[in-house]
Chain A
């Protein structure tokens, strides 16, 4: 996956938007920067297929030894697929945040929220400012 082709939320989720059978499907995960900031992940809670997600609202949470962190949906739509294998293999997020570490796929109901997301360069700049 080319990181330049992804969109990013300022809350550190990444989004890949693809066309699939006349629908737009967004794959969502969290960035390597976010994984490195969280450290020592022990638990993830993801929604079930069919859940409606809304841009800026929580779709799950990821928990480290130290603290729990909400996962915010960067898009509006319906969850059509969940990466269930992550639950027992959280180390995937450390090794492979952008491919094996995907969390949910969402069928977009509205594309307006995509315009609020950052491109790769803008997101890189945000990470540099935060670290």
Chain B
């Protein structure tokens, strides 16, 4: 653990739970508590708590906030109704992906609606700088260090949060958020997550985080709640085929090749990267994001090359052993000619070829 790592407001809780801590994007974070598979399955079957306070939390102010955000987002921001949250991408004019983000447009207690955003920890300072450099920038406030973020994920999550807040959290539609208040002060509850399960993410004041965590842990005991680390978060998001910045998304990947077309809205609006996206789509030929299932038990990892007979057709961006499916799974960028589901390919894992099949994404979808 680097001595200069940032710690989240839940650091003491992790230490008490004997978490294994690692440095991640400049933060000391729990990679696992009792084990990745146990935490993964608890999230699929019951409920778990994740400290995701390392994620960047930004808020925006100024009369031009909506117009500005609309211009730097691949997805239209102007139509986001108060109470709603949308996944979007931020790219440069040349289509290079700067980050993938959640844009929140929430009603606040003052009766006004405000825009805020959750960005990747690894991109926080880059993205703040990028926004502030824009000629039409609104005011950007970095709230990361004054708040904490806790994800409550799993089939029991909504019932647990409802009991805790004495409020029917199931009334919150997916990708919606609301401010709530309680003994612990105010918080933002959103019906979002990064696991492929139902659940919420909570943004609370840094001073309240530990109390909120402990309350949820004890209230959730009868539902089998467990703390879960970044290791399980990664296997869960991979099964759900959610991209991870630095793997499926980066500045060397064009936004048009990610397959995230639901988050790219070109018609009737102008935004940074639009002309590059239209050009890339017209030209075609860029590798596409696919899923792979491997034969046997050996997981392929990021960087493993993929072959169709003697021809190199792509590279793995994330790979693991799926605890739910009990098989190795991976996401990769493949040449379009080899990317059809059902195609049999070979993955080179440290010099040995292993058979793999292109499959439809996601690998896991909750019932």
Contact = CB atoms under 8 A, between A and B. Distances in A.
B297 A65 contact: no
Contact of A45 (B35, B298, B320, B328): B298
Contacts of A68: 301
Given A65-B235, A65-B323, A66-B231, A43 B36 contact: no
B320 A43 contact: no
B299 A40 contact: no
B37 A65 contact: yes
Contacts of A39: 32, 35-36
Contacts of B298: 42-43, 45, 63
A63 B350 CA distance: 13
A40 B297 contact: no
A64 B40 CA distance: 14
Contacts of A65: 36-37, 231, 235, 299, 320-321, 323
A39 B36 CA distance: 8
Interface string A25-48: 000000000000001101101000
**Residue of B31, B235, B321 with most chain A CB atoms under a 10 A cut-off:** B321
Nearest to B35: A39
A96 to B, nearest CB: 18
B297 A43 contact: yes
Interface string A41-65: 0110100000000000000010111
A82 B36 CA distance: 29
Interface string B287-328: 000000000111101000000000000000000110100001
Contacts, number: 38
Interface string A87-110: 000000000000000000000000
A131 to B, nearest CB: 10
Contacts of B37: 40, 65
Interface in B1-58: 31-32, 35-37
Interface in B314-367: 320-321, 323, 328, 350
Contacts of A43: 296-299, 321
Interface in B116-168: none
A68 B231 CA distance: 14
A107 B298 CA distance: 29
B23 to A, nearest CB: 15
Contacts of A42: 297-299, 321, 328
A40 B35 contact: yes
A40 B301 contact: no
A19 B31 CA distance: 44
Nearest to B327: A42
A45 B350 CA distance: 11
A64 B37 CA distance: 10
Nearest to A61: B350
A61 B351 CA distance: 13
Contacts of A45: 298
A8 B359 CA distance: 44
Nearest to B31: A66
Nearest to A87: B297
B40 to A, nearest CB: 8
Nearest to A66: B231
B298 to A, nearest CB: 4
Given A63-B298, A63-B299, 6 more contacts: A40-B36, A40-B37, A42-B297, A43-B297, A43-B321, A65-B321
15 contacts: A39-B32, A40-B35, A40-B321, A43-B298, A43-B299, A43-B321, A61-B350, A63-B299, A63-B321, A65-B36, A65-B235, A65-B299, A65-B320, A65-B321, A66-B36
Which 9 A-B pairs give the minimum distances between C-beta atoms? Answer: A42-B321, A43-B298, A39-B35, A40-B37, A43-B297, A65-B36, A65-B321, A40-B36, A66-B231
